[in-house]
Amino acid sequence: MSLTDKCIITAALAGAATMKSQNPAVPYTVEEFVEEAYKCYNAGAAIVHIHARDPETGLPTSSIDVLRDIVKGITEKCPIIINLSTAIGIGATPEERINVVKQLKPEMASLNTNSMNFALGDWKNYQILGETVFTNTFQMLIEFAKTMKECGTKPELEVYDLGGVYNTLFVRNQGIFVEPLHYQFVWGVLGGCWLDLANFKRFMDL
């Protein structure tokens, strides 16, 4: 990459776990999502990644009404690319997860690439605070990718370890993706892969 190449910055406005008690800037309401997206656009971001929240509880939500209002508000405010999460949160069914793409047909949406243990840990005393199995079967990967292609949605391929890259390169041969592939490497999740130069190079070499 040369200094003259354009750099595409994605701003993730709210992940699936961080709460206002940890960071008061985490958006919960539609209005907060719209305002944060606008700030990011003005700061130079080209894409916003949206994990919608229940405005009352702050917990992740798959509500199409909430997501529709967020997308509408951001679109009316600025011409930033909107990338919607299909991870949603713990307990969401595959049908709930892909429904956001079917209903709203966003420009981009996340596509998780492999199943994994997913845990939250206390890095001071090394205790596991909570855990789940994040299920993303090959069948889900293929069906989600086909749905995104039909809806004109560009997948952001979410990769937590080398297996995710390997999986996408295998199913890519079915013609389910529109080239070029767009990856996001998610570093540091317990159950995934830590960030260092050797790991990053290995990802890029696949």
Q: For residue 108, count CB atoms less than 10 angstroms from its CB and return exposed for 0-12, middle for 13-18, buried for 19 or more.
A: buried
Judged by DSSP in three states, 170 sits in helix
Q: Write the CA distances from 136 to 51, 142, 163, 181, integer angstroms.
A: 18, 10, 12, 18
- Residue ranges and CATH numbers for the domains of the chain are 10-205 (3.20.20.70)
Q: DSSP of 7-59, one letter per residue?
A: ---EEE---SS--TTT-TT---SHHHHHHHHHHHHHTT-SEEEE--B-TTT--
Tokens linked to 78: 């600025």
The whole-angstrom separation of Cα 165 and Cα 158 is 9
Tokens linked to 103: 């209903």
Q: Write the CA distances from 144 to 54, 89, 102, 153, 171, integer angstroms.
A: 24, 16, 10, 10, 12
pTM (two decimals): 0.93
pLDDT in tens, the chain (206 residues): 566 788 999 999 998 888 999 999 999 999 999 999 999 999 999 999 999 999 999 999 999 999 999 999 999 999 999 999 999 988 899 999 999 999 999 999 999 999 999 999 999 999 999 999 999 999 999 999 999 999 999 999 999 999 999 999 999 999 999 999 999 999 999 999 999 999 999 999 98
Q: Give the type of residue at 200.
A: F
Return the residue matching tokens 């709210």: 14
Q: Give the type of residue at 156.
A: E
Beta strand pairing call for 10-12 and 47-50: parallel
Judged by DSSP in three states, 89 sits in coil
